Amino acid sequence: MRRNRILDKADKKQVKVTVYGAEWCPPCHAAKDYLKSKNIDYTYINVDENREAGMNIAHKTGWTAIPIIEIGEEHILGFDIGKLNSALRAAKLLA
């Protein structure tokens, strides 16, 4: 049986995707919209509402800007579609 380019849900559940952002941040909205358009499940953490999570990701990455997109153990600063696609492909979340 030939496998289509669309990955099945079992493959997509192996890697967790988290977007750290804020409601006032246009690139944060762009990142969330892009992930939704690709049917990629993600967790959104509003760093204005969850300061502890914001401090933790800042400590972990050394970055204080947003969005920070965490894909497994990889982190992307900002909405960089090239880096995002590369990380999603490496995590087998995007064909």
19 in any annotated domain: yes
pTM of the predicted model, to two decimals?
0.85
Give the range of the structural domain holding residue 50, as residue numbers without chain letter.
15-77
Sign of CA dihedral 30, 78, 94, 11: negative
Sheet strands side by side (includes 74-77): 43-46, 17-21, 68-71, 74-77
From the CA atom positions of the chain, what is the Rg in Å? 14
Tokens of 75: 């982190």
Residue 29 lies inside a defined structural domain of this protein: yes
Specify the amino acid at residue 38: K
- pLDDT for 59-74, tens place per residue? 999 999 999 999 999 9
CATH number of 61's domain: 3.40.30.10
pLDDT of residue 10 exceeding 80:
no
Task: Domain count for the chain, please give it.
Answer: 1
The verdict on residue 39 lying in a domain is yes
Q: Two tokens at 52?
A: 């502890």
Asked if the structure places residue 30 within a domain, the reply is: yes
pLDDT tens profile 28-40: 999 999 999 999 9
